[in-house]
Structure 1
Amino acid sequence: MLAGLTYREIGDRLFISAKTVEHHVARMRNRLNCANRTELLALLRTLVADRASDTAGQPWPRRAGR
């Protein structure tokens, strides 16, 4: 997603259908409270940038509720 690939391009790389990719992205949007794909991309880019600048190498934040 961060590379700007379409659902079909992502699906082709993962050997799944574009519809399945769309479903997974929708679930990501819901879990991260993003209204649309653009908002999700902005959040993911921020998370990746924050992680890259973190010299301690902390793991990704845990999901809420688990």
Structure 2
Amino acid sequence: PYEFESAMCILCPRRYDIPIRPDYKNPKLLAQFVSPHTGLVYKPHITGLCQSMQEELEIEVKRAQDLG
């Protein structure tokens, strides 16, 4: 009877006219995907990101942490 809506990555460029990209200079965006207690990036089943965006996010979080 009811069809489930297919899950879609919330950061994928095809979803927006102006794509939202994870960037080390945007700490408010990165903070949504990082645990405040451990400083580790949440896993993809929690963030809802696709594999490519998850990898890009992890790289940008690491860069932001390294640069302080």
TM-score by length of 2: 0.35
Higher relative contact order (CA 8 A, sep 6+): 2
TM-score (norm 1): 0.36
